[in-house]
Amino acid sequence: MSPLPYGTHDGYINGARHTSTSGQTFVSTDPATAQPLAEIHTASAADISAAVAAASGAFAAWSATPAIERSRILHRAAAQLRARNDEIAEVETRDTGKAFSETSVVDVVTGADALEYYANLVGGGGLNGERVQLREDAWCVSSREALGVCVGIGAWNYPIQIALWKSAPCLAAGNTMVYKPSEFTPLHATTLAEIYTQAGLPAGVFNVVHGDGAVGAALVAHPSVAKVSFTGQVSTGQKVAEAAGRGMKYATMELGGKSPCVILEDCALEAAVDGAMMANFYSSGQVCTNGTRVFVPEQMRAAFEQRLLEKMAYVRAGDVMHPATNLGPLVSKVHYDKVREYIRVGIEEDKATLLYGGLDRPANIPAGGEAGFWVHPTVFTDCTDDMVIATEEIFGPVMCILPYTTEDEVVRRANSTQMGLAAGVFGKDLSRCHRVVQKLQAGINWINTWGESPAEMAVGGWKLSGLGTENGVRSLSQWTRNKSVLVEMGGLVTAFAKL
Ligand code: NAD
Protein backbone atom coordinates (compact mmCIF):
# COMPACT_ATOMS: atom_id res chain seq x y z
CA MET A 1 0.00 0.00 0.00
CA SER A 2 1.29 3.44 -0.92
CA PRO A 3 1.34 5.91 1.99
CA LEU A 4 0.39 8.75 -0.38
CA PRO A 5 -3.11 10.25 0.07
CA TYR A 6 -4.28 9.21 -3.41
CA GLY A 7 -2.32 5.94 -3.58
CA THR A 8 -0.96 4.59 -6.83
CA HIS A 9 -2.45 4.92 -10.30
CA ASP A 10 -1.94 2.77 -13.34
CA GLY A 11 -3.36 2.49 -16.82
CA TYR A 12 -6.84 1.24 -17.69
CA ILE A 13 -6.95 -1.15 -20.64
CA ASN A 14 -9.69 -3.45 -21.94
CA GLY A 15 -12.15 -2.61 -19.17
CA ALA A 16 -9.81 -3.11 -16.20
CA ARG A 17 -6.89 -1.58 -14.36
CA HIS A 18 -3.66 -2.51 -16.08
CA THR A 19 -0.33 -3.04 -14.36
CA SER A 20 2.26 -1.08 -16.27
CA THR A 21 5.33 -2.96 -17.47
CA SER A 22 7.73 0.00 -17.62
CA GLY A 23 8.83 -0.15 -14.00
CA GLN A 24 8.89 3.66 -14.08
CA THR A 25 6.77 5.95 -11.97
CA PHE A 26 6.21 9.64 -11.46
CA VAL A 27 4.51 11.63 -8.74
CA SER A 28 1.49 13.91 -8.86
CA THR A 29 1.97 16.88 -6.51
CA ASP A 30 -0.51 18.96 -4.51
CA PRO A 31 0.14 22.51 -5.83
CA ALA A 32 -1.19 24.10 -2.63
CA THR A 33 1.46 22.44 -0.45
CA ALA A 34 4.04 20.96 -2.86
CA GLN A 35 3.49 17.60 -1.13
CA PRO A 36 3.16 14.37 -3.17
CA LEU A 37 -0.39 13.15 -3.75
CA ALA A 38 -0.04 9.91 -5.68
CA GLU A 39 2.40 7.71 -7.52
CA ILE A 40 1.62 7.06 -11.19
CA HIS A 41 2.97 4.26 -13.37
CA THR A 42 4.32 5.34 -16.74
CA ALA A 43 3.10 3.32 -19.72
CA SER A 44 5.75 1.32 -21.57
CA ALA A 45 5.80 0.80 -25.35
CA ALA A 46 4.12 -2.58 -24.72
CA ASP A 47 1.39 -0.93 -22.60
CA ILE A 48 0.75 1.63 -25.35
CA SER A 49 0.46 -1.15 -27.92
CA ALA A 50 -1.89 -3.07 -25.61
CA ALA A 51 -4.12 -0.01 -25.19
CA VAL A 52 -4.30 0.65 -28.94
CA ALA A 53 -4.91 -3.08 -29.58
CA ALA A 54 -7.76 -3.06 -27.03
CA ALA A 55 -9.30 -0.01 -28.69
CA SER A 56 -8.87 -1.59 -32.14
CA GLY A 57 -10.45 -4.84 -31.00
CA ALA A 58 -13.47 -3.06 -29.52
CA PHE A 59 -14.09 -0.84 -32.55
CA ALA A 60 -16.06 -3.17 -34.82
CA ALA A 61 -18.74 -4.00 -32.25
CA TRP A 62 -18.96 -0.51 -30.74
CA SER A 63 -19.27 1.26 -34.09
CA ALA A 64 -22.00 -1.22 -35.08
CA THR A 65 -23.91 -0.69 -31.81
CA PRO A 66 -27.09 1.29 -32.57
CA ALA A 67 -26.62 4.98 -31.81
CA ILE A 68 -29.55 4.96 -29.39
CA GLU A 69 -27.87 2.20 -27.34
CA ARG A 70 -24.56 4.10 -27.28
CA SER A 71 -26.56 7.12 -26.20
CA ARG A 72 -28.11 5.26 -23.24
CA ILE A 73 -24.67 4.19 -21.98
CA LEU A 74 -23.31 7.73 -22.18
CA HIS A 75 -26.37 9.05 -20.35
CA ARG A 76 -25.78 6.57 -17.54
CA ALA A 77 -22.15 7.72 -17.28
CA ALA A 78 -23.28 11.36 -17.14
CA ALA A 79 -25.69 10.54 -14.31
CA GLN A 80 -22.89 8.87 -12.33
CA LEU A 81 -20.61 11.84 -12.85
CA ARG A 82 -23.30 14.18 -11.52
CA ALA A 83 -24.01 11.92 -8.55
CA ARG A 84 -20.29 11.90 -7.66
CA ASN A 85 -19.70 15.58 -8.50
CA ASP A 86 -18.23 16.78 -5.19
CA GLU A 87 -16.02 13.75 -4.67
CA ILE A 88 -14.50 14.05 -8.18
CA ALA A 89 -14.29 17.86 -7.92
CA GLU A 90 -12.30 17.54 -4.69
CA VAL A 91 -9.78 15.28 -6.45
CA GLU A 92 -9.53 17.84 -9.26
CA THR A 93 -8.92 20.57 -6.67
CA ARG A 94 -6.14 18.58 -5.01
CA ASP A 95 -4.56 17.67 -8.34
CA THR A 96 -4.77 21.08 -10.07
CA GLY A 97 -4.81 23.45 -7.10
CA LYS A 98 -7.96 25.15 -8.44
CA ALA A 99 -10.41 26.25 -5.76
CA PHE A 100 -13.28 23.85 -4.97
CA SER A 101 -15.62 26.84 -5.44
CA GLU A 102 -14.78 26.42 -9.17
CA THR A 103 -14.25 22.69 -9.65
CA SER A 104 -17.51 21.85 -7.86
CA VAL A 105 -19.58 23.94 -10.29
CA VAL A 106 -17.61 23.79 -13.55
CA ASP A 107 -15.21 20.93 -14.15
CA VAL A 108 -17.35 17.81 -13.70
CA VAL A 109 -20.60 19.59 -14.59
CA THR A 110 -19.45 20.85 -17.99
CA GLY A 111 -17.96 17.44 -18.75
CA ALA A 112 -21.23 15.67 -17.95
CA ASP A 113 -23.06 18.31 -20.03
CA ALA A 114 -20.99 17.33 -23.08
CA LEU A 115 -21.77 13.64 -22.54
CA GLU A 116 -25.50 14.35 -22.38
CA TYR A 117 -25.32 16.71 -25.33
CA TYR A 118 -23.68 14.19 -27.67
CA ALA A 119 -25.74 11.31 -26.29
CA ASN A 120 -28.86 13.29 -27.16
CA LEU A 121 -27.49 14.30 -30.54
CA VAL A 122 -26.63 10.81 -31.78
CA GLY A 123 -29.69 9.28 -30.08
CA GLY A 124 -31.84 11.78 -31.98
CA GLY A 125 -30.43 11.06 -35.42
CA GLY A 126 -27.44 13.40 -35.44
CA LEU A 127 -25.33 10.91 -37.38
CA ASN A 128 -27.89 10.40 -40.15
CA GLY A 129 -26.56 10.72 -43.67
CA GLU A 130 -28.30 11.91 -46.82
CA ARG A 131 -29.74 10.39 -49.96
CA VAL A 132 -29.79 12.31 -53.23
CA GLN A 133 -31.89 11.20 -56.20
CA LEU A 134 -29.70 11.81 -59.28
CA ARG A 135 -32.15 10.62 -61.99
CA GLU A 136 -35.02 8.19 -62.14
CA ASP A 137 -32.89 5.08 -61.79
CA ALA A 138 -29.87 6.32 -59.86
CA TRP A 139 -29.16 7.89 -56.52
CA CYS A 140 -26.29 8.37 -54.11
CA VAL A 141 -26.16 7.88 -50.39
CA SER A 142 -23.67 9.60 -48.07
CA SER A 143 -23.23 8.19 -44.60
CA ARG A 144 -21.10 9.23 -41.66
CA GLU A 145 -18.82 6.46 -40.51
CA ALA A 146 -16.79 6.25 -37.32
CA LEU A 147 -13.05 6.77 -37.76
CA GLY A 148 -11.61 3.98 -35.60
CA VAL A 149 -9.13 4.32 -32.74
CA CYS A 150 -8.80 7.93 -31.59
CA VAL A 151 -6.22 9.35 -29.22
CA GLY A 152 -7.09 12.05 -26.67
CA ILE A 153 -4.22 14.00 -25.10
CA GLY A 154 -5.06 16.42 -22.30
CA ALA A 155 -3.65 19.57 -20.71
CA TRP A 156 -3.62 20.07 -16.95
CA ASN A 157 -5.95 23.01 -16.47
CA TYR A 158 -9.38 21.32 -16.85
CA PRO A 159 -8.44 17.62 -16.64
CA ILE A 160 -11.75 15.76 -16.45
CA GLN A 161 -13.55 18.37 -18.55
CA ILE A 162 -10.98 17.93 -21.33
CA ALA A 163 -11.25 14.12 -21.06
CA LEU A 164 -15.02 14.38 -21.45
CA TRP A 165 -15.06 17.04 -24.18
CA LYS A 166 -12.94 14.62 -26.22
CA SER A 167 -14.41 11.25 -25.27
CA ALA A 168 -18.10 12.29 -25.40
CA PRO A 169 -18.33 13.02 -29.16
CA CYS A 170 -15.68 10.38 -29.91
CA LEU A 171 -17.58 7.53 -28.28
CA ALA A 172 -21.01 8.85 -29.28
CA ALA A 173 -19.94 8.70 -32.93
CA GLY A 174 -18.90 5.05 -32.53
CA ASN A 175 -15.13 5.45 -32.17
CA THR A 176 -12.92 4.00 -29.46
CA MET A 177 -10.32 5.99 -27.51
CA VAL A 178 -6.96 5.81 -25.84
CA TYR A 179 -6.70 8.79 -23.50
CA LYS A 180 -3.52 10.21 -21.99
CA PRO A 181 -4.04 12.81 -19.27
CA SER A 182 -1.42 15.44 -18.51
CA GLU A 183 1.32 14.01 -16.30
CA PHE A 184 0.68 16.94 -13.93
CA THR A 185 -2.99 16.06 -13.33
CA PRO A 186 -3.59 12.34 -13.85
CA LEU A 187 -5.89 11.50 -10.92
CA HIS A 188 -9.27 11.77 -12.68
CA ALA A 189 -8.53 9.27 -15.44
CA THR A 190 -9.10 5.92 -13.73
CA THR A 191 -12.28 7.23 -12.10
CA LEU A 192 -13.65 8.28 -15.48
CA ALA A 193 -12.71 4.94 -17.07
CA GLU A 194 -14.42 3.04 -14.24
CA ILE A 195 -17.54 5.18 -14.53
CA TYR A 196 -17.73 4.40 -18.24
CA THR A 197 -17.35 0.67 -17.50
CA GLN A 198 -20.02 0.78 -14.78
CA ALA A 199 -22.34 2.61 -17.19
CA GLY A 200 -22.07 -0.32 -19.60
CA LEU A 201 -19.33 0.77 -22.00
CA PRO A 202 -17.83 -2.40 -23.46
CA ALA A 203 -14.24 -3.30 -22.55
CA GLY A 204 -11.64 -1.62 -24.75
CA VAL A 205 -13.82 1.29 -25.88
CA PHE A 206 -12.15 3.77 -23.48
CA ASN A 207 -8.58 3.13 -22.33
CA VAL A 208 -6.09 5.18 -20.31
CA VAL A 209 -2.30 5.33 -20.44
CA HIS A 210 -0.12 7.57 -18.29
CA GLY A 211 3.12 9.39 -18.95
CA ASP A 212 4.70 12.53 -20.33
CA GLY A 213 5.20 13.79 -23.87
CA ALA A 214 7.09 10.67 -24.92
CA VAL A 215 3.99 8.54 -24.26
CA GLY A 216 1.87 11.12 -26.10
CA ALA A 217 4.24 11.11 -29.07
CA ALA A 218 4.21 7.29 -29.23
CA LEU A 219 0.41 7.30 -29.30
CA VAL A 220 0.29 9.92 -32.06
CA ALA A 221 2.78 7.93 -34.16
CA HIS A 222 0.99 4.60 -33.73
CA PRO A 223 -0.06 3.33 -37.17
CA SER A 224 -3.43 1.98 -35.95
CA VAL A 225 -4.58 5.42 -34.74
CA ALA A 226 -7.04 7.28 -36.99
CA LYS A 227 -7.39 10.60 -35.16
CA VAL A 228 -5.65 12.71 -32.54
CA SER A 229 -7.49 15.23 -30.42
CA PHE A 230 -4.96 17.36 -28.57
CA THR A 231 -5.21 20.13 -25.98
CA GLY A 232 -2.05 21.95 -24.95
CA GLN A 233 0.50 24.58 -25.89
CA VAL A 234 0.95 25.89 -29.43
CA SER A 235 4.55 24.61 -29.57
CA THR A 236 3.50 21.06 -28.58
CA GLY A 237 0.47 21.21 -30.88
CA GLN A 238 2.74 22.01 -33.82
CA LYS A 239 4.75 18.83 -33.16
CA VAL A 240 1.61 16.74 -32.69
CA ALA A 241 -0.07 18.11 -35.84
CA GLU A 242 3.10 17.46 -37.84
CA ALA A 243 3.34 13.86 -36.61
CA ALA A 244 -0.39 13.28 -37.22
CA GLY A 245 -0.05 14.79 -40.70
CA ARG A 246 2.70 12.35 -41.61
CA GLY A 247 0.29 9.48 -40.94
CA MET A 248 -2.57 11.41 -42.63
CA LYS A 249 -4.49 11.19 -39.36
CA TYR A 250 -7.41 13.44 -38.55
CA ALA A 251 -6.42 16.04 -35.97
CA THR A 252 -8.15 18.49 -33.68
CA MET A 253 -5.85 20.98 -31.98
CA GLU A 254 -7.05 23.04 -29.01
CA LEU A 255 -4.10 25.31 -28.27
CA GLY A 256 -3.11 28.48 -26.47
CA GLY A 257 -3.98 32.13 -26.96
CA LYS A 258 -3.21 35.75 -26.16
CA SER A 259 -6.73 36.96 -26.46
CA PRO A 260 -7.94 40.57 -26.56
CA CYS A 261 -10.63 41.87 -24.21
CA VAL A 262 -11.86 45.11 -25.79
CA ILE A 263 -13.57 47.63 -23.51
CA LEU A 264 -15.62 50.22 -25.43
CA GLU A 265 -16.10 53.66 -23.90
CA ASP A 266 -19.90 53.33 -23.53
CA CYS A 267 -19.62 50.12 -21.47
CA ALA A 268 -21.11 49.62 -18.02
CA LEU A 269 -17.90 50.13 -16.02
CA GLU A 270 -18.76 47.60 -13.33
CA ALA A 271 -19.51 44.83 -15.85
CA ALA A 272 -16.37 45.62 -17.84
CA VAL A 273 -14.16 45.43 -14.73
CA ASP A 274 -15.85 42.18 -13.65
CA GLY A 275 -15.42 40.77 -17.15
CA ALA A 276 -11.75 41.70 -17.33
CA MET A 277 -11.19 40.08 -13.92
CA MET A 278 -13.01 36.94 -15.01
CA ALA A 279 -10.87 36.94 -18.17
CA ASN A 280 -7.64 37.03 -16.15
CA PHE A 281 -8.01 35.58 -12.67
CA TYR A 282 -10.47 32.67 -12.95
CA SER A 283 -8.62 29.38 -12.34
CA SER A 284 -5.68 31.56 -11.24
CA GLY A 285 -5.33 32.69 -14.84
CA GLN A 286 -4.87 29.16 -16.19
CA VAL A 287 -7.63 29.27 -18.79
CA CYS A 288 -6.76 28.99 -22.48
CA THR A 289 -9.36 31.58 -23.49
CA ASN A 290 -8.16 34.23 -21.06
CA GLY A 291 -8.43 37.82 -22.29
CA THR A 292 -5.01 38.86 -21.09
CA ARG A 293 -4.69 41.91 -23.32
CA VAL A 294 -7.27 44.30 -21.89
CA PHE A 295 -7.72 47.24 -24.28
CA VAL A 296 -9.16 50.23 -22.40
CA PRO A 297 -10.08 53.61 -23.99
CA GLU A 298 -7.58 56.22 -22.85
CA GLN A 299 -10.35 58.51 -21.56
CA MET A 300 -11.79 55.88 -19.20
CA ARG A 301 -8.53 54.33 -18.07
CA ALA A 302 -8.34 56.13 -14.72
CA ALA A 303 -11.90 55.12 -13.77
CA PHE A 304 -11.34 51.55 -14.98
CA GLU A 305 -8.12 51.15 -13.01
CA GLN A 306 -9.56 52.68 -9.86
CA ARG A 307 -12.52 50.29 -9.81
CA LEU A 308 -10.27 47.36 -10.74
CA LEU A 309 -7.94 48.11 -7.83
CA GLU A 310 -10.90 48.23 -5.44
CA LYS A 311 -12.16 44.88 -6.71
CA MET A 312 -8.82 43.07 -6.65
CA ALA A 313 -9.48 42.54 -2.94
CA TYR A 314 -12.22 40.10 -4.03
CA VAL A 315 -9.60 37.76 -5.53
CA ARG A 316 -8.94 35.67 -2.43
CA ALA A 317 -6.33 32.99 -1.82
CA GLY A 318 -7.04 30.56 1.01
CA ASP A 319 -7.78 26.95 1.84
CA VAL A 320 -8.63 25.55 -1.59
CA MET A 321 -11.65 23.68 -0.21
CA HIS A 322 -13.15 26.76 1.53
CA PRO A 323 -16.19 28.14 -0.33
CA ALA A 324 -14.89 31.73 -0.08
CA THR A 325 -11.54 30.91 -1.74
CA ASN A 326 -11.43 31.84 -5.43
CA LEU A 327 -7.67 31.88 -6.04
CA GLY A 328 -5.64 28.70 -5.84
CA PRO A 329 -1.96 28.11 -6.49
CA LEU A 330 -0.56 27.46 -9.97
CA VAL A 331 -0.44 23.85 -11.05
CA SER A 332 3.27 23.01 -10.68
CA LYS A 333 6.66 24.31 -9.63
CA VAL A 334 7.80 24.56 -13.25
CA HIS A 335 4.73 26.61 -14.17
CA TYR A 336 5.08 28.76 -11.02
CA ASP A 337 8.67 29.59 -12.01
CA LYS A 338 7.59 30.37 -15.58
CA VAL A 339 4.80 32.76 -14.55
CA ARG A 340 7.00 34.53 -11.97
CA GLU A 341 9.68 34.95 -14.64
CA TYR A 342 7.10 36.70 -16.86
CA ILE A 343 6.21 39.01 -13.96
CA ARG A 344 9.91 39.80 -13.47
CA VAL A 345 10.31 40.49 -17.20
CA GLY A 346 7.24 42.76 -17.10
CA ILE A 347 8.76 44.81 -14.27
CA GLU A 348 12.45 44.83 -15.19
CA GLU A 349 12.67 44.42 -18.96
CA ASP A 350 9.35 45.53 -20.44
CA LYS A 351 9.24 48.23 -17.74
CA ALA A 352 5.45 48.16 -17.72
CA THR A 353 3.76 50.00 -14.84
CA LEU A 354 2.98 47.53 -12.06
CA LEU A 355 -0.49 48.51 -10.85
CA TYR A 356 -1.12 45.57 -8.52
CA GLY A 357 0.59 42.39 -7.30
CA GLY A 358 4.08 41.47 -8.42
CA LEU A 359 6.59 38.94 -7.14
CA ASP A 360 5.39 38.90 -3.51
CA ARG A 361 3.26 35.96 -2.46
CA PRO A 362 -0.47 36.64 -2.04
CA ALA A 363 -1.97 37.18 1.40
CA ASN A 364 -3.94 34.39 3.10
CA ILE A 365 -1.89 31.44 1.90
CA PRO A 366 -3.32 28.64 4.05
CA ALA A 367 -1.33 26.82 6.74
CA GLY A 368 0.96 24.27 5.15
CA GLY A 369 1.07 26.26 1.90
CA GLU A 370 4.48 27.86 2.42
CA ALA A 371 6.10 25.66 -0.25
CA GLY A 372 3.01 25.75 -2.52
CA PHE A 373 2.93 27.43 -5.92
CA TRP A 374 1.03 30.59 -4.99
CA VAL A 375 1.39 33.62 -7.26
CA HIS A 376 0.07 37.08 -6.49
CA PRO A 377 -2.58 38.18 -9.01
CA THR A 378 -0.87 40.92 -10.98
CA VAL A 379 -1.95 43.88 -13.13
CA PHE A 380 0.36 45.79 -15.44
CA THR A 381 -0.78 48.99 -17.11
CA ASP A 382 0.54 51.32 -19.79
CA CYS A 383 1.50 48.21 -21.71
CA THR A 384 2.52 48.43 -25.36
CA ASP A 385 1.98 45.82 -28.05
CA ASP A 386 5.66 44.90 -28.34
CA MET A 387 6.19 44.00 -24.68
CA VAL A 388 6.95 40.35 -23.93
CA ILE A 389 4.12 40.23 -21.38
CA ALA A 390 1.69 41.54 -24.02
CA THR A 391 2.73 39.11 -26.75
CA GLU A 392 3.41 35.71 -25.14
CA GLU A 393 0.89 33.45 -23.41
CA ILE A 394 1.69 33.61 -19.67
CA PHE A 395 -1.13 31.29 -18.52
CA GLY A 396 -1.17 32.76 -15.03
CA PRO A 397 -2.97 35.56 -13.15
CA VAL A 398 -1.33 38.43 -15.04
CA MET A 399 -3.40 41.16 -16.72
CA CYS A 400 -1.99 43.67 -19.19
CA ILE A 401 -3.91 46.92 -19.69
CA LEU A 402 -3.29 48.51 -23.10
CA PRO A 403 -4.71 52.02 -23.62
CA TYR A 404 -6.17 52.88 -27.06
CA THR A 405 -7.92 55.79 -28.79
CA THR A 406 -9.99 54.72 -31.83
CA GLU A 407 -12.05 51.70 -32.87
CA ASP A 408 -9.99 51.03 -36.00
CA GLU A 409 -6.83 51.19 -33.94
CA VAL A 410 -8.06 48.72 -31.31
CA VAL A 411 -9.25 46.23 -33.93
CA ARG A 412 -5.90 46.37 -35.71
CA ARG A 413 -3.93 45.98 -32.50
CA ALA A 414 -6.18 43.25 -31.12
CA ASN A 415 -5.58 41.23 -34.29
CA SER A 416 -1.84 41.76 -34.44
CA THR A 417 -0.98 38.38 -32.92
CA GLN A 418 -0.33 34.98 -34.44
CA MET A 419 -2.87 33.49 -32.07
CA GLY A 420 -6.65 33.67 -32.40
CA LEU A 421 -8.32 31.61 -29.71
CA ALA A 422 -10.80 34.01 -28.07
CA ALA A 423 -11.88 37.65 -28.01
CA GLY A 424 -14.49 39.73 -26.25
CA VAL A 425 -16.12 43.15 -26.33
CA PHE A 426 -17.81 45.10 -23.54
CA GLY A 427 -20.18 47.93 -24.52
CA LYS A 428 -23.80 49.10 -24.27
CA ASP A 429 -24.30 49.70 -28.00
CA LEU A 430 -24.86 46.13 -29.17
CA SER A 431 -24.65 47.03 -32.86
CA ARG A 432 -21.21 48.44 -32.26
CA CYS A 433 -20.19 45.42 -30.16
CA HIS A 434 -21.23 43.15 -33.05
CA ARG A 435 -19.38 45.30 -35.56
CA VAL A 436 -16.18 45.10 -33.52
CA VAL A 437 -16.46 41.39 -32.68
CA GLN A 438 -17.07 40.57 -36.34
CA LYS A 439 -13.69 42.12 -37.18
CA LEU A 440 -11.76 40.26 -34.46
CA GLN A 441 -9.78 37.24 -35.63
CA ALA A 442 -10.79 34.65 -33.04
CA GLY A 443 -12.82 31.47 -32.95
CA ILE A 444 -14.46 31.97 -29.53
CA ASN A 445 -16.05 35.35 -28.85
CA TRP A 446 -18.12 36.94 -26.12
CA ILE A 447 -20.09 40.18 -25.87
CA ASN A 448 -20.58 41.58 -22.35
CA THR A 449 -19.47 38.37 -20.66
CA TRP A 450 -16.41 36.16 -20.53
CA GLY A 451 -15.56 32.50 -20.25
CA GLU A 452 -18.87 30.63 -20.41
CA SER A 453 -18.41 27.63 -22.69
CA PRO A 454 -21.57 25.52 -22.83
CA ALA A 455 -21.74 22.16 -24.62
CA GLU A 456 -24.00 23.76 -27.24
CA MET A 457 -21.29 26.24 -28.35
CA ALA A 458 -18.52 25.12 -30.71
CA VAL A 459 -15.10 26.24 -29.51
CA GLY A 460 -11.79 26.26 -31.35
CA GLY A 461 -9.01 28.61 -32.24
CA TRP A 462 -8.05 30.48 -35.40
CA LYS A 463 -4.49 30.99 -36.65
CA LEU A 464 -1.89 29.26 -34.42
CA SER A 465 -4.49 28.63 -31.71
CA GLY A 466 -5.78 25.47 -33.27
CA LEU A 467 -7.50 23.32 -35.84
CA GLY A 468 -11.13 22.22 -35.70
CA THR A 469 -13.59 22.63 -32.85
CA GLU A 470 -14.99 20.91 -29.79
CA ASN A 471 -18.60 21.01 -28.62
CA GLY A 472 -21.68 22.11 -30.56
CA VAL A 473 -23.52 20.25 -33.32
CA ARG A 474 -20.97 20.62 -36.08
CA SER A 475 -18.02 19.28 -34.08
CA LEU A 476 -19.57 15.80 -34.21
CA SER A 477 -18.62 15.54 -37.89
CA GLN A 478 -14.95 15.82 -36.87
CA TRP A 479 -15.30 12.34 -35.33
CA THR A 480 -16.68 10.73 -38.50
CA ARG A 481 -15.62 10.26 -42.10
CA ASN A 482 -17.80 10.39 -45.14
CA LYS A 483 -18.81 7.35 -47.18
CA SER A 484 -20.67 7.88 -50.46
CA VAL A 485 -22.30 5.14 -52.49
CA LEU A 486 -23.80 5.78 -55.95
CA VAL A 487 -26.41 3.20 -56.97
CA GLU A 488 -27.32 2.65 -60.64
CA MET A 489 -30.56 0.72 -61.29
CA GLY A 490 -30.74 1.18 -65.08
CA GLY A 491 -28.42 -1.71 -65.92
CA LEU A 492 -26.15 0.44 -68.10
CA VAL A 493 -22.54 1.40 -67.45
CA THR A 494 -21.83 4.10 -70.07
CA ALA A 495 -18.73 4.67 -72.29
CA PHE A 496 -17.78 1.05 -72.91
CA ALA A 497 -21.28 -0.47 -72.88
CA LYS A 498 -21.54 -0.68 -76.75
CA LEU A 499 -19.27 -0.67 -79.80
P1 NAD B 1 1.56 20.97 -23.05
O2 NAD B 1 1.56 21.23 -24.51
O3 NAD B 1 2.82 21.12 -22.31
O4 NAD B 1 1.06 19.45 -22.76
C5 NAD B 1 -0.21 19.01 -23.17
C6 NAD B 1 -0.19 17.49 -23.29
O7 NAD B 1 0.67 17.12 -24.36
C8 NAD B 1 0.33 16.75 -22.06
O9 NAD B 1 -0.50 15.63 -21.84
C10 NAD B 1 1.73 16.33 -22.47
O11 NAD B 1 2.19 15.18 -21.82
C12 NAD B 1 1.53 16.06 -23.95
N13 NAD B 1 2.71 16.13 -24.80
C14 NAD B 1 3.85 16.83 -24.61
N15 NAD B 1 4.68 16.67 -25.66
C16 NAD B 1 4.04 15.83 -26.53
C17 NAD B 1 4.38 15.30 -27.84
N18 NAD B 1 5.54 15.58 -28.44
N19 NAD B 1 3.48 14.49 -28.45
C20 NAD B 1 2.29 14.23 -27.88
N21 NAD B 1 1.92 14.70 -26.65
C22 NAD B 1 2.79 15.51 -26.00
O23 NAD B 1 0.40 21.88 -22.46
P24 NAD B 1 0.04 22.14 -20.93
O25 NAD B 1 1.11 23.00 -20.34
O26 NAD B 1 -0.31 20.85 -20.28
O27 NAD B 1 -1.32 22.96 -21.04
C28 NAD B 1 -1.39 24.35 -21.08
C29 NAD B 1 -1.65 24.81 -22.49
O30 NAD B 1 -2.86 24.23 -22.96
C31 NAD B 1 -1.83 26.31 -22.61
O32 NAD B 1 -1.11 26.78 -23.72
C33 NAD B 1 -3.33 26.46 -22.85
O34 NAD B 1 -3.68 27.63 -23.55
C35 NAD B 1 -3.65 25.22 -23.60
N36 NAD B 1 -5.07 24.87 -23.50
C37 NAD B 1 -5.87 25.04 -24.59
C38 NAD B 1 -7.22 24.75 -24.51
C39 NAD B 1 -8.14 24.95 -25.70
O40 NAD B 1 -9.24 24.43 -25.68
N41 NAD B 1 -7.74 25.68 -26.72
C42 NAD B 1 -7.77 24.27 -23.33
C43 NAD B 1 -6.93 24.10 -22.22
C44 NAD B 1 -5.57 24.40 -22.33
Beta bridge partners of 39: 8, 27
The residue nearest atom 1 of ligand 1, judged by CA position, is 232
Mean pLDDT score, 310-333: 98
Query: What distance in Å separates the CA atoms of residue 26 and residue 15, rounded to the nearest whole number?
Result: 23
On the question of pLDDT at 206 being above 50, the answer is: yes
Q: What is the pTM of this model?
A: 0.97
Mutual angle of helices 269-281 and 301-311, in 10-degree steps: 60
Query: What distance in Å separates the CA atoms of residue 48 and residue 124, rounded to the nearest whole number?
Result: 35
Cα torsion 261, 266, 268, 272 to 10°: value is 10
Residue 241: how many CB atoms within 10 A of its CB?
20
**Tens-digit pLDDT profile for residues 234-253:** 999 999 999 999 999 999 99
**Tens-digit pLDDT profile for residues 347-384:** 999 999 999 999 999 999 999 999 999 999 999 999 99
Give the pLDDT score at 498: 73
Residue 364: how many CB atoms within 10 A of its CB?
15
Looking at the chain, the whole-number percentage of residues with pLDDT higher than 90 is: 97
The yes-or-no answer on residue 470 being catalytic is yes
On the question of pLDDT at 88 being above 50, the answer is: yes
Give the pLDDT score at 337: 98
Average the pLDDT over each of 94-108, 186-200, 481-495 and give the range with the smallest value: 481-495
- Cα separations (Å) of 40 from 93, 154, 219, 287, 476? 18, 16, 18, 25, 32
> 48, 288, 336: which to mutate for ligand 1, most atoms within 8 A of CB?
288
What is the pLDDT of the chain when averaged over all its residues? 97
C-beta separation of 119 from 78 below 8 A: yes
**Tens-digit pLDDT profile for residues 251-285:** 999 999 999 999 999 999 999 999 999 999 999 99
The yes-or-no answer on residue 239 being catalytic is no
Give the pLDDT score at 492: 75
Contacts of 113 (CB under 8 A, 6+ apart): 454, 455
Ligand 1 pocket, residue 393 CB under 6 Å: yes
Binning pLDDT at 50, 70 and 90, where does residue 1 land? very low
The yes-or-no answer on residue 242 being catalytic is no
Instruction: Point out the ligand 1 atom lying closest to the alpha carbon of residue 461.
Output: 41
On the question of pLDDT at 2 being above 70, the answer is: no
On the question of pLDDT at 422 being above 80, the answer is: yes
Question: What is the residue type of 282?
Answer: Y
Beta bridge partners of 263: 426
Ligand 1 center to residue 375 CA distance, Å? 21
Average the pLDDT over each of 14-18, 472-476, 487-491 and give the range with the smallest value: 487-491
Ligand 1 center to residue 160 CA distance, Å? 14
Contacts of 126 (CB under 8 A, 6+ apart): 67, 118, 473, 476
Ligand 1 pocket, residue 241 CB under 6 Å: no
Ligand 1 pocket, residue 157 CB under 6 Å: yes
Mean pLDDT score, 454-480: 98
